[in-house]
C-alpha cells in the first residue's frame, strides 16, 4: 500500500473517531447550558510533553473581584521551604471571623494561586470570610509528600497568625478543588493522626481521591471532558512518584484507601455525573457518613470536570450556593 493511501486511511479513521466521540458526548446527557464547543470532543490528555505549557499558564495573573482586597505573603515551613500565599479580605468582613484555606487544583502538576484570583476572591466575598489561597510545590519534580507538607505548614501558619489575620483559629475551613481536594483530604487525615487541631469543615469540590481509578477500565462516558483517564494516570504517577498499584499500604497520599474515616471533619463533596471522579467521590462521601462523619454529597446530572468554572450558568451557581451554604452553616455552629 502506498504511503499516501495509508495517510488518507489513518486520517479518515481519525476523523471518524472524532465524529463518534462527538456523537458520544451528545448522548451523554450534558445539560444545554453546559454544552460549550469543546464539549463535543474528547479533551486532550496531559503528559510530560505538555508540562512546559502548563508552567507557562501558571504565570497568568488574574484579578480579584471588587470589594475584596488582596495581599501577598510568604509562608515558610519549619523545614525552610517557602511558598507564596494570597490573602483575601472582603470589605466589611467581621473581625475574628472564620477563614478558609483554599488549595488549588491542576492535577498536582499545575495551577497557582494568582491565576484563580477572581474565583477565590468571589468565594471569599460570597462566604463573607477571609481566605488564604496557598501555593504548594508541584509534581512531578516535587512528588508526595512535598505538596502535603506545604499544605500542612500553611494550615499551621494560618492558625499561628490568627491575630494578624484577625480570624478565629477555631473556625478554619479547608477548601480544595480537584487535585486540591486530594491534598485537602490528605491534610485532614494527617491532622487527625498527628493529634493536631482539626478544621471545622472541609469542602471537597470534584476531588481527586482514589488512585485505584487509574487501574479500572475506561468508563464509557465519564472522563471525556477536561480530565481524562490518561491525565488521571499522569497526575497520580506524578504525585506518587510511581505508577499506582493495586496493593499498597494506606497513606496520606491516597485518601480513599484509608480504612477508618472516623474523626474527620464534617464535609461537603460535589461532583458531576460525567466526571471521571464521580464514583470515587460518591463512595468516599458514603463512607464518611457511615463512619459518623456528616457529609453532604451533591451530584450534578450531566456535570463534567470543572463544569462550574468554565462558564456562568444556573447549574454552576446552584452548585456554588450549595457549598457556600454548607460552609456558612458549619462555621456558625462551631
Give the CATH number for residue 191: 3.40.50.1820
Report which DSSP code applies to 292: T
Query: What is the end-to-end Cα distance of the chain in Å, rounded?
Result: 73
Same structural domain, 12 and 108: no
Q: Which runs of E-coded beta strand occur in 51-119?
A: 68-76, 82-90, 97-103
Same structural domain, 19 and 89: no
Q: Residues, the chain, total?
A: 334
In this predicted structure, what is the pLDDT of residue 218?
84
Same structural domain, 208 and 266: yes
* Residue 28 binned pLDDT confidence (cut-offs 50, 70, 90): low
Same structural domain, 253 and 293: yes
Rg (CA), the chain: 20
Asked if 147 and 137 touch (Cβ cutoff 8 Å), the reply is yes
Query: Which residues have a catalytic role annotated?
Result: 178, 275, 305
Same structural domain, 8 and 95: no
Same structural domain, 124 and 210: yes
Same structural domain, 176 and 107: yes
Mean pLDDT, range 94-119, rounded to an integer: 97
Same structural domain, 206 and 218: yes
Q: List, for residues 197-249, the tens digit of each pLDDT value.
A: 999 999 999 999 999 999 999 888 899 999 999 999 999 999 999 999 998 88
Number of domains in the chain: 2
Same structural domain, 89 and 136: yes
Provide the residue range defining the domain that includes 146. Answer: 31-332
pTM, entire model = 0.91
Which stretch of DSSP H or E encloses residue 51?
helix 51-57
Q: List, for residues 288-330, the tens digit of each pLDDT value.
A: 999 999 999 999 999 999 999 887 899 999 999 999 999 999 9
pLDDT higher for 2 or 110?
A: 110
Same structural domain, 62 and 208: yes
Peptide bond into 145 cis (omega under 30): yes
Mean pLDDT, range 140-154, rounded to an integer: 98
Closest C-alpha among 235, 102, 260 to residue 181:
102
Same structural domain, 116 and 56: yes
Same structural domain, 22 and 160: no
Amino acid at each position: 500500500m502506498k504511503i499516501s493511501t495509508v495517510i488518507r486511511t489513518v486520517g479518515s479513521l481519525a476523523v471518524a473517531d472524532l465524529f463518534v466521540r462527538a456523537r458520544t458526548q451528545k448522548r451523554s446527557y450534558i445539560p444545554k447550558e453546559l454544552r460549550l464547543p469543546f464539549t463535543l470532543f474528547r479533551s486532550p490528555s496531559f503528559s510530560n510533553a505538555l508540562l512546559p505549557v502548563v508552567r507557562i499558564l501558571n504565570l497568568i495573573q488574574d484579578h480579584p473581584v471588587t470589594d475584596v482586597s488582596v495581599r501577598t505573603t510568604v509562608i515558610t515551613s519549619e523545614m525552610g521551604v517557602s511558598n507564596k500565599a494570597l490573602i483575601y479580605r472582603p470589605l466589611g468582613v467581621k473581625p475574628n471571623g472564620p477563614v478558609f484555606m483554599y488549595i488549588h487544583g491542576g492535577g498536582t502538576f499545575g495551577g497557582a494561586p494568582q491565576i484563580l484570583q477572581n474565583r477565590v476572591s468571589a468565594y471569599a466575598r460570597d462566604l463573607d470570610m477571609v481566605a488564604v489561597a496557598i501555593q504548594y510545590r508541584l509534581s512531578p519534580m516535587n512528588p508526595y509528600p512535598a505538596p502535603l507538607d506545604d499544605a500542612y505548614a500553611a494550615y499551621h501558619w494560618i492558625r499561628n497568625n490568627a491575630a494578624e489575620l484577625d480570624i478565629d483559629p477555631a473556625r478554619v475551613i479547608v477548601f480544595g478543588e480537584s487535585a486540591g481536594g486530594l491534598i485537602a483530604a490528605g491534610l485532614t487525615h494527617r491532622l487527625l493522626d498527628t493529634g493536631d487541631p482539626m478544621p471545622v469543615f472541609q469542602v471537597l469540590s470534584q476531588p481527586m481521591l482514589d488512585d485505584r481509578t487509574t487501574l479500572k477500565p475506561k468508563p464509557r462516558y465519564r472522563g471525556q471532558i477536561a480530565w481524562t483517564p490518561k491525565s488521571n494516570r499522569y497526575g497520580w504517577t506524578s504525585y506518587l512518584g510511581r505508577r499506582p498499584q493495586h496493593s499498597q499500604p494506606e497513606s496520606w497520599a491516597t485518601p480513599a484507601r484509608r480504612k477508618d474515616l472516623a474523626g474527620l471533619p464534617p464535609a461537603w463533596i460535589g461532583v458531576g455525573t460525567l466526571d471521571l471522579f464521580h464514583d470515587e467521590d460518591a463512595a468516599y462521601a458514603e463512607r464518611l457518613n457511615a463512619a459518623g462523619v456528616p457529609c453532604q454529597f451533591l451530584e450534578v446530572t450531566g456535570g463534567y470536570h470543572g463544569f462550574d468554572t468554565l462558564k456562568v450558568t444556573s447549574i454552576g451557581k446552584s452548585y456554588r450556593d450549595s457549598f457556600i451554604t454548607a460552609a456558612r452553616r458549619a462555621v456558625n455552629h462551631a
